[in-house]
Amino acid sequence: KIPLVANPQAKEPAEIASNIKYHAHYSPHFSPYKFEPEQAFYATAESVRDQLIKQWNDTYSHYHKVNPKQTYYLSMEYLQGRALTNSVGNLDVQDAYANALKQLGYALEEITEQEKDAALGNGGLGRLASCFLDSMATLSLPAWGYGLRYRYGLFKQLMTKTGQEEIAEDWLEKFSPWEIPRHDVVFPIRFFGQVEVNPNGSRKWVGGEVIQAVAYDVPIPGYKTKNTNSLRLWEAKARAEDFNLFEFNDGKYESAALIHSRAQQICAVLYPGDATEDGKLLRLKQQYFLCSASLQDIITRFKERLGGKDIQWLEFPSKVAVQLNDTHPTLSIPELMRLLMDDEGLGWDEAWDITNRTIAYTNHTVLPEALEKWSQAVMWKLLPRHMEIIEEVDKRFIIMIQSTKPELEGKISDLRVLDNNPQKPVVRMANLCVVSAHTVNGVAQLHSDILKAELFSDYVKVWPTKFQNKTNGITPRRWLRFCNPELSRIITKWLKTDQWVNDLDLLVNLRQFADSSELQAEWESAKLASKQRLANYVLQVTGVSIDPKSLFDIQIKRIHEYKRQLMNILGAVYRYKKLKEMSPEERKKTTPRTIMIGGKAFATYTNAKRIVKLVSDVGAVVNTDPEVNDFLKVVFVPNYNVSVAEVLIPGSELSQHISTAGMEASGTSNMKFALNGCLIIGTLDGANVEIREEIGQDNFFLFGATADEVPRLRKEREQGLFKPDPRFEEAKQFIKSGAFGNYDYSPLLDSLEGNSGFGRGDYFLVGYDFPSYMDAQARVDEAYKDRKKWTKMSILSTAGSGKFSSDRTIGQYAKEIWKINECRLP
């Protein structure tokens, strides 16, 4: 009885239902006779997209007309997750859609579950980019994202007997309702070839192969604003004229389509393995593809928006800000130089000045192995003109230092862009960024301080004002308002406003109610409901049943030795052993715990994979041991991703952020947990330091060495000057005894020995921090017994999280780095 009516601006539930039905019927993707949850999802998403398109087009025209300075965020990763809940929430049509779907026989929550995560990223850096997009739109800032449209994003993690197995995750299997191909936005991207010198001395890159970049746009709606920005993802496509029809007709099918298959490789997967030379080349191609397509697009738009006026190139930086999300898009620097000099005819000095005033760089790590270095030979082969430009940047930098900072003469070989070590000449991408960009920032205060004091300390002497801090943030829409509606309702009720969703600092006003038993009761019941939902999820994906009355203790993040999931599991092993040794009466006095660990290990990172295996092996034993079952469960949550996080975080009570101090640049899930009233056990690392400051030290379970102690402790550990705590030895020994099966854990356990000559000799200081970690865990157990106190701490965590809104972070980038202003749709 619901009519089929196309109505892109439908407001009333009945109209929306009609529009959804219209899409289900006329969508070319499905047979019109079926309306199962999957079709219902796609039809609903298309109807939401209808609503977005008008605002999206209006936003584009508005920016075009006003022509403000605009930011372009370049990132090789975006971890967008699902978009439906976020879109209806940001459009403020959640109730209308829920109602419309009800008329069609569905619940909105059920339909949203049908959506596949867009996982075009690995971890923190990619999710940060996605939170930033949400804040840029919400703040009505003229700011777009650029990325790559990977065919296969982050792999799907399967847990088998041997541990993690990776399989390709087909997020585009059917199609994505959120992307719109722009077949008219196409740029040529060249690879290989040679440099031609013209009689007038100008240079031109010619030959090689040319592949096209085609734009796919994803709408990014803001919350409580009509501004709808874009995430532009590039897809690679060969030109039709490069298809060799003669060869094909001659039966040489593969060689005829060679360039087509080479084009397809570029965006086929996120982080293709780089163990081989071909793998490295492909990764470099991906990076260049993003940089070149985006800059050509930016320059085209700059020209279009002049509306016929003469081009003043020196005005470019007053219209364009480019932010590099780590060094992955560094090739933007020589690419912008090349476009300005070779295509637009500018001289070096002008081009350099423009490039410098346009580009800013964010560093996300101090780990030496994560600092990108590209072989000069590979660069000369793939990008000969860019290598010429990089050599010139390097040469001019050296001259500048010699003439202005002679005292740094001895440091030049470390500071310059090229490392000409004859064994392996490389380009140091971070150095190229620091030398070329106008601003360099770290992602938490401690991290930015370390950058200035260590990694980039000599550059600070050259450019004392270039370095800034921008502490990361998270979007309160996805990470509280939409993923935790129960808690949101309570917050709104007590603050008597929902303004906190846009102005997260308002959460401090919860502090005055932290002792109220009425609020505490509501708070606890919301938490319990989220824990129940989480328990259902865990049962569904692992078959393990967990008790919502136990303490839910969660560590979810990429598996990495510096993040020390190994310390967590050693703690669990020790806890298990002690429980086994206790009498039944003693056990009853302990605090029951459910330890959940989730995260993906990079496919070739063997020690990380061993950690995954150990967690699941420990779980298999503990969870089936009737003696301890009521007091401890250990669960490995498979295939951790954005939508899994949206279930886990609201249901968490304790979360672990336990990296070796100085190694986690910031962390962002720590902010999500704290915002959802979860207490943190953690080290003084990354943003933990600031979170603890904001929520109060009494509400944070602190342990471990500080960053400035780490170098000395490492030395002592290596020299065998440090005597490990007996608890640490006991836990390791218990694993070695075969208590969790006979898989060979020795490479893992040996890496924890300080002076054994194995690996880096407990480089991550698990041995040193273990006793203080266990003491902090004992304080957690005690605190949890006092429900009133715990709930108060939980309320204070949320109340103190205002600073960690990505709206605050983006506001600071806009003002202090990009110099852009709001450009709100009327």
CB 418 within 8 A of CB 428: yes
Write out the H or E segment, with its range, that includes residue 813: none
- Check binding of 125 to ligand 26Y (CB under 6 A): yes
Residue pair 68/104 in contact by the 8 Å Cβ criterion = no
Tokens of 695: 């929520």
Active site includes 82? no
**Three-state DSSP state, 773:** helix
Catalytic status, residue 260:
no
472 is an interface residue for ligand 26Y by CB under 6 A: yes
Nearer to ligand 26Y, 530 or 656 (CB): 656
State the binding string over 350-379 for ligand 26Y (x if CB under 6 A, else -): --------------xx----x-x-------
Nearest position to ligand 26Y, beta carbon: 124
Burial tier of 312 (Cβ tally within 10 Å: 0-12, 13-18, 19+): exposed
- CA dist 357 and 360 (Å) reads 8
Q: Find where tokens 């020790």 sit.
A: 574
Q: How far is the CB of 563 from ligand 26Y (least distance, A)?
A: 8
In sequence order, which ranges of 37-120 are alpha helices (DSSP H)? 37-66, 84-90, 94-103, 108-112
Residue 792 among the catalytic residues: no
Question: d(Cα 660, Cα 563) in Å, to the nearest integer?
Answer: 7
The tokens describing 338, both together, are 């090349």
- Is residue 684 at the binding interface for ligand 26Y, with CB under 6 A as the rule? no
Q: Is 364 a catalytic residue?
A: yes
- In this chain, which of 122, 140, 212, 806 binds ligand 26Y, going by CB under 6 A? 122
Q: What are the helix (H) ranges across 232-346? A: 245-249, 253-256, 258-266, 277-304, 332-338
604 binds ligand 26Y (CB under 6 A): no
Window 289-328: contact mask with ligand 26Y (x via CB under 6 A): ---------------------------------------x
Q: Which is closer to ligand 26Y, CB of 176 or CB of 441?
A: 441
Nearer of residues 40 and 290 to ligand 26Y, judged by Cβ? 290
CB nearer to ligand 26Y: pick between 52 and 671:
671
Eight-state DSSP code of residue 563: G
Q: Could you give the angle at the alpha carbon of 52 between the alpha carbons of 47 and 55, nearest 5°?
A: 145
Tell me the closest approach of the beta carbon of residue 442 to ligand 26Y, in angstroms: 9
Determine which residue in the list 686, 704, 724, 754 makes contact with ligand 26Y, applying CB under 6 A.
686
> In sequence order, which residues have a C-beta less than 8 Å from that of residue 9 and are 6 or more positions away?
50, 51, 54
Instruction: Tell me which residue of 276, 151, 127 sits closest to 599, measured CA to CA.
Output: 127
> Is 666 a residue that touches ligand 26Y (CB under 6 A)?
yes
Q: Which of 664, 694, 762, 807 binds ligand 26Y (CB under 6 A)?
A: 664
User: Out of 452, 557, 633, 717, which one is annotated catalytic?
Assistant: 557
478 part of the active site: no
CA separation for the pair 416, 434 (Å, rounded): 10
Size of the site for ligand 26Y (CB under 6 A): 18
Task: Tell the smallest beta-carbon distance from residue 49 to ligand 26Y (Å).
Answer: 29
668 binds ligand 26Y (CB under 6 A): yes
What is the C-alpha radius of gyration for the chain, rounded to an integer number of angstroms? 27
* CA 584/CA 538 separation, integer angstroms: 27
Stretch that binds ligand 26Y, among 36-44, 666-674, 698-706, 717-725 (CB under 6 A): 666-674
By CB under 6 A, which span of 89-97, 162-170, 662-670, 798-806 interacts with ligand 26Y? 662-670
| Residue in 59, 355, 542, 668 annotated catalytic | 668
Would you count residue 665 as binding ligand 26Y (CB under 6 A)?
yes
Show contacts with ligand 26Y in window 371-430 (CB under 6 A). Answer: 372
70 binds ligand 26Y (CB under 6 A): no
Per the annotation, the verdict on 160 as an active-site residue is no
Q: Which of 385, 428, 610, 672 is catalytic?
A: 672
Residue 123 touching ligand 26Y (CB under 6 A)? yes
Binding of residue 653 to ligand 26Y (CB under 6 A): no
Catalytic residue among 204, 558, 578, 808: 558
With binding defined as CB under 6 A, does residue 473 bind ligand 26Y? no
The residues near 209 (Cβ < 8 Å, ≥ 6 apart) are 190, 191, 192, 193, 259, 262
Among 88, 93, 108, 128, binds ligand 26Y (CB under 6 A): 128
State the nearest-atom distance from the C-beta of 139 to ligand 26Y, in Å.
19
Q: Is 134 in the site for ligand 26Y (CB under 6 A)?
A: no
- What strands, in cross-sheet order, belong to the sheet with 359-362? 180-191, 209-221, 228-237, 143-148, 70-74, 320-325, 359-362, 439-442, 467-469
SS3 303: helix
Nearest CA among 527, 571, 518, 578 for reference residue 550: 527
- Is position 468 an interface residue for ligand 26Y (rule: CB under 6 A)? no
- Angstrom CA distances, 508 to 115, 269, 445, 459, stand at 35, 43, 21, 39
Distance from C-alpha of 785 to C-alpha of 794, rounded to nearest angstrom? 14
Q: Which of 82, 531, 563, 587 is catalytic?
A: 563
In terms of CB distance, is 44 or 122 closer to ligand 26Y? Answer: 122
Q: Which is nearer to ligand 26Y, 393 or 687 (CB)?
A: 687
- List residues with catalytic annotation: 364, 557-558, 563, 668, 672
> Residue numbers of the site for ligand 26Y (CB under 6 A)?
122-125, 128, 328, 364-365, 370, 372, 443, 472, 664-668, 686
